[in-house]
Each structure stands twice: as structure tokens, then as C-alpha cells.
Amino acid sequence: MSELQKHTSQVESRETKRRETKGPETKGPAASSRAVVLVVGVVMAVLALSCWLLPDDAYSESERRYLREMPALTAQSVASGRFMDQFEAYAQDSFPFREPFRRIEALANVAFGRLDGNGVYLAKADGKVVLPFEVGAEDVYACTLDYQLDAEAVARTLARYQAVYDSYLASADARVFAAVIPDKSYYLAYGSGHPVLDYEALFSQVEEGMPFATHIDLTDALEAESYYRTDTHWRQEKLAPVVDALLAAMGGQGEGADDQAFDELVLDRPFSGVYVGQSALPLAPDDLVWLESDATRAARAFDHEHAREIPVYDADFAFASELDPYELFLGGPLSLVTVESPLAATDRELVVFRDSFGSALAPLLLDSYAKITLVDLRYIQPEMLADLVSFEGADVLFLQSTLSLNS
């Protein structure tokens, strides 16, 4: 056998032993890559089919808002670019398994130290920084990131107020007052380092736009703890300074909120406000508290929108509600409600042009006013008030939160 043949035979022998030792040949990284591609493809196919086959949700209960609908496809909407913008918003709202993905995204942001998202940021009343592991702590407040002043929106509301004044109040023997309720970010944003609405500009615009009213400053009557941690609204049990400030300015009689004998009741279920769903974070729930007195128990409330009597506090509804237990207070956002108080210390009447904040405040004024009328101009046209509301000799209070003014 030649040297070349011997060498070839030795090489073949070593290769045979190597294969026997190694066992069957593996497919290596290529097989793993193909598996990953296959899994991703299956997931994408499932999501795509879900988009087409599953019906779109019309309403998000966690965010308490209506979801965007599929926009109409027209040549004009495509040419203007409006269709693409609206379709992008629709796709985000109709994505399958949207709620679990929102929670995963929110928790991932927290894990990387980002404590603001979905239009919400977290802060503490003492100004300390919220750490990622403190998201569910009971001293953490959720606030809106709505910090751009919409002067046009404010002007639209002021124009409606002017129309009400011109139509009903200018010729009536009524005393007119106005007060703006600051959002809790007024007390929290500066300490947390987040951008904040120019509240002074908003307050000035309201005061200049309502020269017919006496303006009442509520900023010193409130603090961060006056609000629910997980919701936009103020806490009724914290409103004694607000009641005192209003009655002092309006010359109210009767006992102030601190002097009245109230029973403090707590809803027998946790209250998770609007920011829990909006942020998709596991925020610690609040307690929903309301104050009962002889005046609130004797009062009779009437909902003109649905022509029915309603309780001042509807605890049964709040307990059962999956959407907004805050509607415990005088039925929530109704267009026109009157409350008669037979135990009031006076026979005076009060008309409040309000948003949902007014529902929690009104029961605390029943000791001072024999009749309180709540009007929400978001749900009723001013011209409809002529046959429904009497302004003669009444106190009139325009009470609006910065959240509704600035939207």
C-alpha cells in the first residue's frame, strides 16, 4: 500500500470514529432560527385573524371611555391624510387582547423606572420620588399629564356662562359667584418635577371672562389629600374648608361643615378610580366615603332629565357599579337636579352650574340652602332653562374644575 493510500485510510478512520463519538448530526442554529420564525409567524397569524374575526369593543370599562371606530374610507379622507391618522388611532383601540398588553407595557415601563405613561404620572404628597416598587403603595397619587392650557376650550365655556348671564341673570335679583377647582396636580406636579398646567393663566382667563361674578379662590382650601389617589375627584370628607370658604364669600347662614353633625360612611368595596384603568398599573384602591346628616337624610332630590326621584346618596348603586361608583353622589353626571332641604337654616336658594365635582359638594350645603339646583351645561342647552330654573333672588355659583374647563 502506498503512503498516500495509508494516509487516506487513516483520515477516513478518524472521521468514522468522530461521527460515532458525536452521535447523530444536529441541525445547529439554523433549526432554532426556523423555530423562532415559525412561532412568531403563528402569533402574528393569530393576532391578524383575531383582528378580523373578533368584534370590536365599543367601550373600555377600565379607561371609562368610548373606543375609536373604524373611519370611513373615502378619496377625500385619504388625500388629506385624515384616514391614516384615524385608522392608526382605531387600530390601537381595537388591537386584540388589548387590556393584557396594556398592563404588560405599563409594568415593563415601571421596571425600567418610567413612572409616567398613558397620560398619567405618579407622585407623592410629600414631594418624594416614587420608586418602582412603591407603585401600589397607599401614599402614591396618580395625576393627569394634561399640562397644555387650551385657551380656546376655556373661552367656549366662558361664552356659555356669558350667555346664561345675559339671558337669565342680568335682569334677575341674583347674586353671582364663580370658583375654579384646581386639579390635584396643582399641589403635586411641582414637587414631582413633572410639567404642570399654567394655572395662574387659567384662573386669570376665567376671572377676566366673568366680570359679572364675584370670584372665590379655593386653592388654599384644598391640598393633595383632598383628592382621591386613583381618581380625578375630590373627597367629600375633606371638603369642610371648601364649604367654609364658599359660605363666607356668599354670606351663607347655617352651620359650617366642621360644625355640622355628620356620620361618616364607607362604601363596602374598594374604589379604584379612573386612573387605575387609564394607567393600567396596580394602584392601591381608595376608600369611598360620604357624609350623612339630618339635613341629607331629610332632603329630597329630583332628576329632571329622567323625571324621577333619586337619593342624595345611592350606596346600593355605587356598590354594584362596575363603571363609576362616584355616581353615589346625587346620581353623577345629570343635566338638571334639584334638591329640597326642609331642615335648612334659611329659605334661600342656590343654583350651581357645575361638573361632576358639584355632586359631592351640594349635600354639604343643605344646612344653608332650602333648595339647591344643579345644572350641568355639558348635557343641557342654556335656552332650555327658562321653564326649569328660577333665578330670581337666588345665589348663583359657577363651579367648574380645571379638568373640564381645559377640555
pLDDT at 13: 60
- Comparing CA positions, the residue from 215, 180, 162, 170 lying closest to residue 391 is 170
This prediction has a pTM of 0.79
pLDDT of the residue at 66: 63
pLDDT at 405: 96
Report domain extents, the chain.
36-96, 143-405
Which residue ranges of the chain lie beneath pLDDT 50?
A: 4, 11, 26
Residue 245: what pLDDT? 96
Chain centroid to Cα 39, Å, comes to: 39
